[in-house]
């Protein structure tokens, strides 16, 4: 029996440093995505604050919240009101003053904050302001097993493979991907879906933050890397895509990557 789920990827601009306005916008967009049939709604990396580290810099500490803070509380209320899962990027504080994370909250349709994932691979100026995450969680939903990733994380084959071996069927990647690396955004999402024969949903920011051009082109990839849907470049959009997670079984019957692995040969990957 098909295990179908409808995704809503919010490809939106944000107002840098204006958390209140961004959260209000996000709450409205969650409702709009739900009205279009979305059951899982995804908002981009650092949606509550904006991304540009050159502009925000040390302000990330002042803008940080824990998972019970006002921003995630508002998104949890929106998830409950609309009966959808929500994944959204924010600056997270985890109890140590001055230490913050580039994180994603994952919220249930009942409005419960299930978890927060901290980005494990930091890019560029992020290394100055954020601490690295160290965990790769799997989220059990009534639709299937989901795995979180943030932007640069999707560029590392080890992340996707680890998730696949833990049973993930859909990798949710939130991003603030810049135009200079547009080709890599395409290639990484396709590669992770192909490598692991699972679905990848990449939700990217759009707009400008000073000289930082964020391109959009959010996308949903099927196992084997085929496109299910893609949003336009440089335009706000709500990308709606319905996927059938049972397609993974068929893909893995046809392509035997998971069976033909030779883990006894791969030890050097962890030491080199």
Report the distance separating Cα 144 and Cα 27, nearest Å.
Answer: 25
3-state secondary structure (DSSP) of residue 23 = helix
264 an active-site residue?
no
Concatenating the DSSP letter of every residue in 234-261 gives TS-EEEEEEEETTHHHHHHHHS-TTTS-
Alpha helix locations (H) across the chain?
19-35, 53-56, 59-63, 70-82, 126-129, 157-165, 182-196, 247-254
CA torsion 125→127→133→137, rounded to 10°? Answer: 30
The kind and range of the H/E element at 8 are strand 4-11
Q: 25, 92, 119, 189: which is the annotated catalytic residue?
A: 119
189 an active-site residue?
no
203 an active-site residue?
no
Q: 25, 45, 93, 219: which is the annotated catalytic residue?
A: 45
Report the distance separating Cα 79 and Cα 73, nearest Å.
Answer: 10
Q: Which long-range contacts (CB under 8 A, 24 or more apart) does 63-69 make?
A: 63/17, 63/19, 63/91, 64/91, 64/92, 64/93, 64/100, 65/90, 65/91, 65/92, 65/93, 66/92, 66/93, 66/94, 66/95, 67/92, 67/105, 67/113, 67/116, 68/113
Q: 65, 93, 151, 189: which is the annotated catalytic residue?
A: 151
Concatenating the DSSP letter of every residue in 43-81 gives --TTTTT---HHHHTTHHHHH-B-TTSHHHHHHHHHHHH
Show which residues are catalytic. 45, 119, 151
């Amino acid at each position: 029996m098909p295990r179908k789920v409808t995704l809503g990827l919010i490809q939106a601009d944000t107002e840098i440093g204006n958390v209140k306005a961004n959260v209000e916008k996000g709450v409205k967009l969650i409702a709009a995505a739900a009205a279009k049939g979305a059951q899982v709604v995804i908002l981009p990396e650092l949606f509550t604050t904006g991304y540009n580290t050159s502009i925000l810099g040390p302000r990330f500490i002042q803008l940080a919240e824990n998972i019970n803070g006002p921003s995630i509380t508002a998104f949890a209320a929106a998830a409950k009101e609309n009966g959808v899962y929500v994944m959204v990027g924010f600056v997270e504080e985890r109890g140590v003053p001055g230490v913050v994370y580039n994180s994603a909250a994952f919220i249930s349709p009942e409005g419960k904050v299930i978890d927060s994932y901290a980005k494990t691979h930091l890019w560029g100026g992020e290394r100055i302001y954020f601490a690295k995450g160290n965990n790769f969680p799997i989220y059990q939903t009534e639709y299937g097993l989901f795995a979180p990733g943030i932007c640069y994380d999707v560029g590392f084959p080890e992340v996707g493979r680890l998730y696949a071996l833990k049973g993930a069927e859909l990798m949710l990647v939130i991003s603030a991907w810049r135009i200079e690396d547009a080709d890599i955004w395409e290639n990484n999402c396709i590669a992770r879906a192909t490598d692991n024969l699972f679905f990848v949903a990449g939700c990217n920011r759009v707009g400008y933050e000073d000289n930082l051009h964020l391109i959009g082109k959010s996308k949903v990839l099927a196992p084997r890397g085929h496109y299910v849907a893609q949003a336009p470049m440089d335009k706000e959009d709500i990308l709606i895509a319905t996927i059938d997670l049972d397609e993974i079984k068929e893909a893995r019957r046809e392509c035997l990557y998971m069976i033909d692995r030779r883990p006894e040969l791969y030890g050097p990957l962890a030491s080199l």
